[in-house]
Amino acid sequence: MNPAANFDNMAWTDSACPVARTLDLVGDRWSLLIIRDAMDGARSFTDFQRRTGVARNILTDRLRRLVERGILERETASSGRRQVYLLTEAGRDLFTVIVAMRQWGERHTYAQHEDHSVLVDKSGLPLAQLRPIDSDGVTANIDTTTVLRDS
């Protein structure tokens, strides 16, 4: 299913900009922290509340919106007594965004030797720094790219 099909009637901040559309869907603090925690194994309402510290009413709203927007799906737990939340393919596809934010935060929000959590690969080593590359495999940056807009 294409999650974009759910948004025919949505009022976009800037309909021509993919960044603005993405922020309209997941751009508040609590939504991104919920997505982060879902990537780290949180599944239940209690898991998300304990990890984020968000108020119950806000968490209820954000979980509902993330389900409606195709980022999470809600299922009945195997016990049959509660709901669990799982990332959809669209939600899993936000992994690179979360890693990019994490790496930016590591570079710009900590003092040089200040402790912080580290995202590691299956061998236990920190992930390599994300870098966008162009069609020739060369590192791209703001000086080497241009946004093309429809007329």
- Burial of 85 from C-beta contacts in 10 A (0-12 / 13-18 / 19+): buried
Residue 9, SS3 per DSSP: coil
Residue 117 lies in a domain: no
Structure confidence at residue 76 (pLDDT): 94
82 part of a folded domain: yes
Per-residue pLDDT of the chain (151 residues; tens, 9 = 90+): 555 556 666 788 787 889 998 998 899 999 999 999 999 999 999 999 999 999 999 999 999 999 999 999 999 999 988 999 999 999 999 999 999 999 999 999 999 899 999 999 999 999 999 999 999 999 999 999 999 988 6
What local confidence, expressed as pLDDT, does residue 14 receive?
Answer: 82
Q: What CATH number does residue 9 fall under? A: 1.10.10.10
In degrees to the nearest 10, what's the CA dihedral of 5, 13, 59, 70? 10
Query: Could you give the maximum distance between any two Cα atoms of the chain, in Å?
Result: 54
- Say how many residues make up the chain: 151
Q: How many domains does the chain have?
A: 1
Range(s) of the domain holding residue 68: 3-92
Within-domain flag for 126: no
Tell me if 105 is assigned to some domain: no
Q: What is the pLDDT of residue 136?
A: 97
For 133, phi and psi rounded to 5 degrees?
-125, 150
Q: Angle at CA 45, nearest 5°, toward 43 and 46?
A: 95
- At 122 the pLDDT is 96
CA angle (34, 91, 28) in 5-degree steps: 45
pLDDT reported for residue 6: 64
